[in-house]
Chains A and B, each alone.
Chain A
């Protein structure tokens, strides 16, 4: 595909796990990122994964990478109301240095 693709919306109950999925462009992309954007704010780098890794865990966050299918996912354990935000998947294509290519973002709503 030509674009980074994400589902647009996710609703999750407080305390449950959230899984946000992303299909990125190219299996040779070296660095893949998850950013979080809260209303009125810039982007916050949540986590990243190198292409030679399958999984990365960082406290409540788990990133899974499937290079064969160019699929990336972000799991948030024990989702809290403060996790309500837009989550962006991004890659740096090997032929397009220094440029982040973003998906459209997934709006996560945490309900009580």
Chain B
């Protein structure tokens, strides 16, 4: 069974640009959530989607947005990139059948803003 797939693995962008990250969940998983990981702030929750609906959102500015498609794949977008957006962005998927309703994470997308 394929795991959570995130593309691309690495990205370098310039301040002011925008970026779109993609996440394909485990087959059959309908919940997808996104996290930002930085050395200073640790793991911070961005948002969670289920059946194309956002069910929860973290405390990030409106520059951070996401969406989920009917096949459960998800994208997140960051507009007007800032240097502080440099981070590892992790996607996770889950289903009621997951062990302990736990989330399975992808390997992440490493975004560097220069």
Contacts and interface: CB of A to CB of B under 8 A. Distances in A.
Interface of A: 31, 33, 35, 41-45, 48-50, 88, 92, 96-105
B100 A50 contact: yes
A98 B107 contact: no
Given A97-B56, A101-B45, A104-B42, A42 B99 contact: no
B48 A41 contact: no
A71 to B, nearest CB: 19
Nearest to B103: A100
Interface of B: 4, 6, 31, 33, 35, 42-43, 45, 48, 50, 55-56, 58, 90, 92, 99-108
A48 B42 contact: no
A45 B42 contact: no
Contact of A31 (B31, B45, B101): B101
Contacts of B102: 31, 33, 45, 48
A96 B102 CA distance: 15
Nearest to B102: A45
Contacts of B103: 45, 100
A22 to B, nearest CB: 13
A54 B93 CA distance: 27
A92 B92 CA distance: 14
Contact of B55 (A50, A88, A97, A100): A97
B42 A99 contact: no
